[in-house]
Homo-oligomer: A and B are copies of this chain.
Amino acid sequence: MIPAVVLVSGGLDSATVLALARQQGFACHALSFDYGQRHVAELEAAARVARELGAVVHRVMSIDLSAFGGSALTDLSLAVPEAPTAGIPITYVPARNTVFLSLALAWAEVLGARDIFLGVNALDYSGYPDCRPEFVAAFEALANVATRAGVEGNRIRIHAPLLHMTKAEIVLQGVKLGIDYGRTVSCYQADETGRACGRCDSCRLRREGFAAAGVSDPTRYQV
């Protein structure tokens, strides 16, 4: 089987991407980050998702982005908005996907993998700069000059299969793949058992996705 590195956060999108990569026959090396986020429930969900959706291995790397702060997800003094806001929201973590992909690239290079998957989405999303098609394309271009594989002509591909899908389409795709989304945690401020707040941007996009897909929402909410 061909190895691939798959970024797995424990949320709905990356679970779907893992299942898609498995369906395509990749030996999936799941990678998650303990980066100073608000809650550990998403890392527990990531481990569960990696195991249940057939990753060959799951690795959690520690990288303390809370040392930099600047985001409501890594700085507890900044509140997570519970209503839509204008512009790039305060939950944006500076350069997070660049950092995550760079570490995925490092692991891929050691594994001899040329395929990296991530679950970014540019339709039903929070407006983060590093979830857009131009970001994915620029990282792929970088990966192919930054590494031994790129220099030797073994093209590295950054797969973002959800990029142009609506949340409803993602949900329907995942249901078809047999994913139990009740096992995933998307909420920015889930409690320690993984129950969602139901009010943050991520909860809103997820809830609307289930509704638009006509799929019963399996999310465990706090209220």
Q: Interface of A with B (CB < 8 Å)?
A: 59, 61-65, 67-70, 88, 92-99, 101-103, 105-107, 109-110, 129-130, 132, 134-135, 138-139, 141-143, 145-148, 150-151
A129 and B107 contacting across the interface, CB-CB below 8 Å: no
Q: Which residues of B contact A109 (CB under 8 A)?
A: 70, 94-95
CB distance from A36 to the nearest CB of B (A): 11
Copies per complex of this chain: 2
Most buried by B among A59, A88, A96, A110: A110
CB distance from A144 to the nearest CB of B (A): 8
CB distance from A121 to the nearest CB of B (A): 16
A146 and B97 contacting across the interface, CB-CB below 8 Å: yes
Contact of A146 among B59, B135, B143, B148 (CB under 8 A): B135
Q: Which residues of B contact A69 (CB under 8 A)?
A: 110
B150 and A129 contacting across the interface, CB-CB below 8 Å: yes
B145 and A68 contacting across the interface, CB-CB below 8 Å: no
